[in-house]
Structure 1
Amino acid sequence: MAAEREKIYECEVKRRRVKTGGGYEPFWKVKTVAVALADSDTEFRCKDCFGEVKLLGRNNKPGNPPYVEHKSAADSEFCANGILFRKATDGREPKLSEHPVL
């Protein structure tokens, strides 16, 4: 029997925008993983805990959209989107990652 995988279909991607005084500044934008890949985005993080995620399912098989999952089990345990958080029965509260992607 295969282990259940964490599949998150929305994440934040790092973008740039023009600053009022000139130049560019980075900011994070929520996108679906499929749209982020179509836009050629390269930097991803969890939209809920800001933790590191890894990109999976890029092979574009029909019916299998691309997704991300937490790199750290600790992030998954305390992220509202994490599979370990959803399975927990101890009444824990969600919190931000201890090592957020900035």
Structure 2
Amino acid sequence: MAAAEREQFHVCQVKRRRVKATGGYEPFWKVKTVAEALEDADTEFRCKDCGGALKLYKRRAENGSAAHVEHKLKSDSEYCPSGLHFLKATDGREPRPSQFPVR
């Protein structure tokens, strides 16, 4: 029996901080590969296309799949232009931002 097809992203947005011109810090989102985000110990992730929440999967074994992220919500995958369910849809749906974006 074949394994179920799973959504896998290797690029996402991570939340970072930068110094504001007026002093203090401000948050911003930066696009990174999942491998880079893990190396940099980033902790907040979101989809670069829809802004939805993602679940992180770290590489568990040397011969296992590479570190990646997947949408937490099926509804995000159904309407994200990179989502597995969106790409498989045949009903002509239009992409849209997540209904529950990570801010």
Q: Quote the residue 1:49 is aligned against.
A: 50
Q: Quote the residue 2:69 is aligned against.
A: 68
The answer to whether 1:30 aligns with 2:26 is no
Q: Quote the residue 1:16 is aligned against.
A: 17
Deviation at 1:59, TM superposition (A): 2.3
Deviation at 1:62, TM superposition (A): 4.3
- Identity, % of aligned pairs? 63
User: In the aligned structure 2, how far is the partner of 1:75 from the partner of 1:16?
Assistant: 26
Greater Cα offset, 28-37 or 53-62: 53-62
Gaps of 5+ in 2: none
Report the aligned-residue RMSD: 1.2
Q: Quote the residue 1:59 is aligned against.
A: 60
Q: Is the 8 A contact 1:9 1:33 kept in 2?
A: yes
Post-superposition CA distance 1:17-74 (Å, at most 9, x none)? 0000000000000000000000110000000000000001332624632100000000
Gaps of 5+ in 1: none
Post-superposition CA distance 1:64-101 (Å, at most 9, x none)? 32100000000000001100000001111110000000
User: In the aligned structure 2, how far is the partner of 1:79 from the partner of 1:35?
Assistant: 23
Q: Quote the residue 2:93 is aligned against.
A: 92
Q: Is the 8 A contact 1:60 1:66 kept in 2?
A: no
Q: TM-score by structure 1 length?
A: 0.95
User: In the aligned structure 2, how far is the partner of 1:25 from the partner of 1:69?
Assistant: 27
User: What residue identity is the alignment partner of 1:78?
Assistant: Y
